[in-house]
A and B are shown apart, each in its own frame.
Chain A
Amino acid sequence: MPFGGDAWLLTGYAEIKQFLADPRFSSLEATQPDTARVTPLPLRPGNLLTMDPPDHTRIRRVVVKAFSMRRVEQLRDRIREVVDEQLDQLVARGPPADLVASLAVPMPVVMISELLGIPSADRERFRRHSDVLVSTTAYDAAEVNRTRTALEEYFQELLEQRRSRPTDDLVSTLLEAMDTERLTPLETARTGVGILMAGHETSLSMISNSCFLLLSQRELYARLVAEPSLLPTAIEELLRYIPLRSTGSFPRRATEDVELGGVLIRKGETVIFQRAAADRDERVFTCPEKIDLARRPNPHLGFGHGAHHCLGAALARVELSLALEGLIRRFPDLRLAVPGDQVPWKPGLIARCPARLEVTW
């Protein structure tokens, strides 16, 4: 690995599922500096991603309500409204337009900010920071460290402000949890920053990548325009097919010797996995390389598995679905304004995402 030595790489579907559900592989242990990884710095302890049960369960339970299906259903109208506002602006400005800047970025940023209660004036600030946090080679360790600290400090400020003026959002919920669950201010800030980052970075990548895929193989887009009822299965297929990560997953470390896929993994060794490989495993998916917008069943691992299964899965599904629904409804003739192979990508990040996606209609 680029940093911290060797790691095992899992690629099989069954092995990855087993790994993700096995508490003997610790996320917390993987925050040690000698952990093999692709990022300049290991993840920090103290946010959901780097906790193990039962701590993880305790904190996750505090925040899970904000992301439940019930809650997300209540947000549906607001998400649709945000999508429509963005698409209205597209219409007003006329083609060509960059779908990343005009839809994929603003919509998830607005949603996660409203959920957490981030004032709109501050949103640009964390947006700029988030690329640094998911960097492999684009930014160095010192920069990553500075950015993390800046974000955590920002979040601590936000908590302080909220203490005097409580509101009905996730920041206030976290604040309450500091008392009821004995979270330290730093842990609370890290949990908040973790949710903030995960809540928009992956969603905006997923929307950008989905648009790229559907428009670079335009018969797929045309099919959705003709058959919008395919959207639910199409969403799942996009989640399966799109790699989203240019590298393996965040590492975990074995807390004892574990046999996995016929291999003995020793205590202390690091394991990463390539989710995209699992989701192309032909033992599970027929013709895995084919994009089948009606594929069913589709037990993909796009949101992970086990205790760290994506907290925002329901929100991400609805965001992606409403973004695509808005596009096919209002822009049936949408197409790329440049050839697919000339679309620029953001290099050096864990997230694999177009930098711009110029389209016309």
Chain B
Amino acid sequence: MEARADRPLPRTPRGDVVSGETSQPRRWRVRVTEKCGGCGMCVMTAPLYFQLVDGYSQARHSEVEPDDAVLAAAELCPMSAIEVVDADTGAEVTPTP
């Protein structure tokens, strides 16, 4: 809670979808699907993880350490085109419900 004020993106990464499990996954798999409309929002939100190639977004790395910026981009994507899954279990990593 206290950390919130000085962080630009104030949520903690979560990967607690599978049967209420609360342990953090070690890796996330990130993919931009064909629903991408190329608006560039994800690139602006999380430039370390996304780039525009020929006008559409691509994940720079298919697997990443959990980082809130990735979830922010997935949440902000107007086309819901960004998939983030737990690399171990394949379960969807959803932002806060």
Q: Which of B1-28 contact A (CB under 8 A)?
A: 4-5, 8-11
Main secondary structure of the interface of B (DSSP, over half): loop
CB-CB contacts below 8 Å: B53-90 with A: 55, 72, 75-76, 78-80
Q: With A54-B8, A57-B8, A61-B9 in contact, is A305–B39 under 8 Å at CB?
A: yes
Question: Smallest CB–CB gap between A132 and chain B, Å?
Answer: 28
- A299 and B9 in contact, given A57-B45, A309-B78 (Cβ under 8 angstroms): no
With most chain B CB atoms within 10 A of its CB, the pick from A21, A57, A181, A310 is A57
Question: How many Å lie between the Cα of A307 and that of B45 in the bound state?
Answer: 8
B32-67 Cβ-contact flags toward A at 8 Å (1 or 0): 000001111101110000000001000000000000
CB within 8 Å of B: which A297-320 residues? 299, 303-307, 309-311, 313-314
Name the one of B40, B75, B76 contacting A21, with C-beta atoms under 8 angstroms.
Answer: B40
| A: number of interface residues (CB 8 Å) | 29
Residues from chain B with Cβ under 8 Å of A303 in the complex:
39, 78
Residue A68 lies at the interface, judged by CB distance under 8 Å to chain B = yes
Residues A64 and B75 in contact, CB atoms below 8 Å apart: yes
Report A52-82 residues with CB < 8 Å from chain B CB. 53-54, 57-58, 60-61, 64-65, 68-70
Residues of A within 8 A of B96 (CB): 65
- Beyond A57-B8, A61-B9, whether A306 also contacts B44 by CB under 8 A is yes
How far apart are B91's CB and chain A's nearest CB, in angstroms?
A: 16
CB distance from A73 to the nearest CB of B (A): 10
| Residues of A with C-beta under 8 A to B75 | 61, 64-65, 68
Contacts of A299 in B (CB 8 A): 37-38, 55
Report the separation of the CA atoms of residues A20 and B41 in the bound assembly, to the nearest whole angstrom. 10
**Contact with A68, one of B4, B10, B72, B80 (Cβ below 8 angstroms):** B80
Min CB–CB distance A329 → chain B (angstroms): 26
Chain A residues whose C-beta falls within 8 Å of the C-beta of B10 in the assembled complex: 58, 180-181
* Complex A-B: 24 CB contacts under 8 Å: A21-B43, A23-B44, A54-B8, A57-B8, A57-B44, A57-B72, A58-B9, A61-B9, A61-B11, A61-B76, A64-B75, A64-B76, A69-B79, A180-B4, A304-B39, A305-B39, A306-B39, A306-B44, A307-B41, A309-B37, A309-B39, A309-B78, A310-B78, A314-B80
Interface residues of B (CB under 8 A from A): 4-5, 8-11, 37-41, 43-45, 55, 72, 75-76, 78-80, 95-96
The residues of A with any CB-CB pair to B shorter than 8 Å are 17, 20-21, 23, 53-54, 57-58, 60-61, 64-65, 68-70, 180-182, 299, 303-307, 309-311, 313-314
